[in-house]
Amino acid sequence: MASTRTATLVGLFGLGGLTGAVIATLFDSKKSDKQQHQQQQQQVPPTKTTATGVPAPPAPGATPSPPGATSNLLDTDLLDRRLLARAAQAAGGAIEASGYPGPVSDLLVNTAYVAGYDRRLRHPSWVACHMTAESLLKVPPPPGTPPPPRGDRSNSVFKEDSRIPDLFRAHLADYFRSGYDRGHMVAAADAKFSQQAMDETFYLTNIAPQVGEGFNRDYWAHTEDFVRRLTGQFRDVYCFTVPLYLPKQDSDGKWRVSYEVIGSPPSVGVPTHFAKVVLGVGKPGSDVKGALPSSSTTHLTPRGLAGNLAGEKWVGLGAFVIPNARVSNDTPLKSFVVPVEAVERASGLNLFPSTVKTSSKQLCNLVSCDIIVRDFSDANRRAAGMQRSNSAPAGLGK
């Protein structure tokens, strides 16, 4: 058990620089504290996950976890200052006894998705979800079986996430009269298999400021719909959504990153771009041995996908980077295609290992990468004069 949790910590929090002995010390030194803590705290059942570490969508009709059962993947006290100080001392005493100051990346596990939260920018660093035709309720129930309950967006409300310390939390007031929408990173429609799953997409830890008309209510919504429609062409769809801050070349020839900050005091960053990185695996209805077992409960990062695609022929991987601005619905989605490595370089994230990248085909070479323009809001009106962007941003590089 300790070795499994050690591997999880190294993989999820990037602690590869610490030796195995140091990581072992980090856990062993906390055993007695943990035992006392467990006697005082009700144990939360583990969230069922796939081999990617993304929660497996519950089967339609399955009873979701009770409200309040969601928690960080690792107990919060594993990241407290005293524990990290012990690890630092074991590594050579580079950090004084006051403890490790951060940065801390909060890993938040929800019913339908996993998120990494950025305390400085006060929005997700990334979110990841796993979708299937079944989880999106596209498959009719067997004859004689009542339809499974589904989430109703009208019953969901935006809410602050109490799992984040108040000092670093995004607040509802930060978005009030900001001029930006509270943009979902995992869409509510991606989590319609239960009310709890849908409600959790309204945590502000799943939200980032987005331009409303022309983007969040238009092109971005059409892009989310495109990703959901991929469940008709792939057995499993895994999607990362990543807020980005990309440089822009000024008139003096120098490159700078400039972005707005909202809130009072100003604290929530407004990303310049958003990325969708999508992996589609398997033909619908197929069940290839060795390919991403959806019943697995092993906690692994999405980078743990290596070696799990053996024998799978239908694998597509694609990345799209779209500016946080008005985008004409006439703009082809393929014009925003970029290499996955470009998103990883810009975000500082390792989304997929090289083995997955080399064994995958370009997504848009397997399926048609086109949006379908739909009005997702009765109050939404298309504005004239939208700026059309026909290419990936220059700030990504090659």
Tokens of residue 55, six digits: 């929660």
Rg of the chain, C-alpha, whole Å: 21
For the chain, what is the largest distance between any 2 Cα atoms, rounded to a whole number of angstroms?
A: 69
Choose among 184, 271, 182: nearest CA to 221.
184
What residues have CB less than 8 Å from 26, skipping those under 6 apart? 9, 18, 83, 86, 87, 90
State the Cα–Cα distance between residues 205 and 121, nearest whole angstrom.
11
State the Cα–Cα distance between residues 128 and 390, nearest whole angstrom.
27
Q: Is 390 annotated as a binding residue?
A: no
Strand partners, 106: 117
State the Cα–Cα distance between residues 248 and 243, nearest whole angstrom.
16
State the Cα–Cα distance between residues 249 and 257, nearest whole angstrom.
9
Strand partners, 273: 244, 323
What residues have CB less than 8 Å from 342, skipping those under 6 apart? 319, 321, 392, 396, 397, 398
Is 184 considered catalytic here?
A: yes
State the Cα–Cα distance between residues 4 and 300, nearest whole angstrom.
10
Which of 37, 123, 130, 184 is the catalytic position?
184
Binding positions: 216
Residues noted as catalytic:
184
